[in-house]
Amino acid sequence: MRRSLSLLARQESAAARRVTVTTLRGKHRRGEPITDVTAYDYPSAVHVDSAGIDVCLVGDSTAMVIHGHNTTLPITLDIMLEHCRAVARGAPRPLLVGDLPFGCYESSAAQVVLTALALQEAGCFSVVLECVPVPVAAAATSALKIPTIGIGAGPFCSGQVFVYHDLLGMLRHPHHAKASLYLLLCKKRKG
- Other CB atoms closer than 10 Å to residue 78's CB: what's the count? 8
Q: For the chain, give the mean pLDDT.
A: 79
**Alpha helices by DSSP H, the chain:** 2-16, 21-30, 42-50, 62-65, 77-90, 112-121, 134-143, 164-167, 177-190
Q: What is the mean pLDDT of residues 41-67?
A: 92
Report how far apart the first and last C-alpha atoms of the chain are (Å, whole number): 40
Determine contact, residues 61/38, Cβ cutoff 8 Å: yes
Helix axes 112-121, 134-143, angle to 10 degrees: 30
pLDDT band at 108 (very low <50, low <70, confident <90, very high): low
Determine contact, residues 124/112, Cβ cutoff 8 Å: no
Q: What is the model's pTM?
A: 0.66
CA-to-CA distance for 118 and 127, rounded, in angstroms? 10
pLDDT band at 76 (very low <50, low <70, confident <90, very high): confident
Q: pLDDT tens-digit profile of 132-168?
A: 889 999 999 999 998 888 888 889 999 888 877 777 7
Exposure string for 141-177, b = 16+ CB within 10 A, e = fewer: beebebbbbbbebbebbbbbbbbbbbbeeeeeeebbe
pLDDT band at 126 (very low <50, low <70, confident <90, very high): confident
**Residues with catalytic function:** 130
Residue 4 has pLDDT above 80, yes or no: no
* Residue 109 DSSP class: G
Q: Pairing state of beta strands 127-130 and 148-151?
A: parallel
Chain center to CA of 68: 20
Helix axes 77-90, 42-50, angle to 10 degrees: 50
For the chain, domain boundaries:
34-104, 107-157
> Nearest CA to 62 among 83, 85, 81, 44?
83
Which pLDDT score is estimated for 66? 93
